[in-house]
């Protein structure tokens, strides 16, 4: 049996001895491997993962939250039968409390249409890429691009076009070219840092606090 590393062993030890605990976990890239297929069907959690999370959440004074960029409907379809796990969707734009979802920011419907229209030519230019329109964000995915070099070459053009649209607004452009392989337009107020601050405060600053993530969106949480 492989022994845990010193850092992992210390983490486990501190978890067990802490009187109160708060875990905030990203989904894609942390609880589930990143995949070219971004559909919810491709990344659905298996029964083992759900059971492990539920077991953690049932320990005394332990609170588990999945803080994801996924749509709320995706998270609901996966975890609606495990109410002990808290959910935050679209980087904090949606939060589920007491079984109900509530929005934390206002949508940008008019500009969203402009953003989608501006990205359409790049879907044709980069075969294998696609647009995902969420309620509070628009994402251009290029992880499955047939020619990665063509996708990377298109990034500066996309950033310039989108920059003209969001200039002077509360929207921001985020690019993840190495891990997530996306360009995302979302409201600056929708960030995981705000989620973490509210959860830490809501649980009276637990003795053990852990955030896990793998991309630019998680830097706000850290």
Assess contact for 1 and 187: CB atoms under 8 A.
Answer: no
Residue 208 DSSP SS3: strand
Q: In what order do the strands lie in the sheet with 171-176?
A: 130-133, 137-141, 182-187, 171-176
- Catalytic residue IDs: 26
Of 61, 4, 1, 69, nearest in space to 30 by CA = 69
Alpha-carbon separation of residue 205 from 194, 199, 200 (angstroms): 15, 8, 5
**Both structure tokens of 43:** 């990344």
Is the torsion defined by CA of 41, 219, 208, 88 positive or negative? negative
Which residues are CB-contacts of 178 (< 8 A; sequence separation ≥ 6)?
A: none
- Give, for 27, the enclosing helix (H) or strand (E): none
Q: Which residue has the tokens 């070099």?
A: 149
């Amino acid at each position: 049996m492989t022994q845990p590393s010193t850092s992992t062993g210390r983490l486990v030890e501190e978890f067990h001895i802490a009187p109160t605990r708060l875990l905030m976990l990203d989904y894609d890239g942390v609880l589930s491997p990143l995949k070219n297929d971004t559909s919810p069907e491709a990344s659905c959690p298996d029964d083992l993962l759900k059971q492990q999370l539920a077991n953690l959440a049932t320990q005394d004074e332990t609170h588990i939250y999945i803080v994801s960029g996924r749509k709320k409907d995706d998270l609901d379809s996966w975890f609606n039968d495990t109410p002990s796990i808290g959910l935050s969707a679209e980087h904090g734009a949606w939060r589920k409390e007491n079984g109900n979802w509530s929005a934390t920011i206002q949508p940008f419907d008019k500009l969203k249409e402009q953003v989608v229209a501006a990205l359409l030519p790049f879907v044709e230019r980069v075969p294998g890429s696609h647009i995902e329109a969420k309620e509070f964000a628009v994402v251009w995915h290029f992880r499955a691009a047939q020619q990665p070099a063509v996708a990377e070459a298109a990034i500066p053009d996309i950033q310039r076009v989108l920059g003209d649209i969001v200039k002077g607004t509360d929207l921001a452009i985020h690019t993840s070219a190495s891990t997530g392989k996306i360009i995302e337009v979302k409201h600056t107020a929708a960030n995981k840092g705000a989620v973490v601050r509210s959860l830490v405060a809501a649980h009276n600053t637990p003795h053990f606090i852990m955030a896990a993530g793998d991309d630019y969106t998680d830097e706000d949480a850290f």
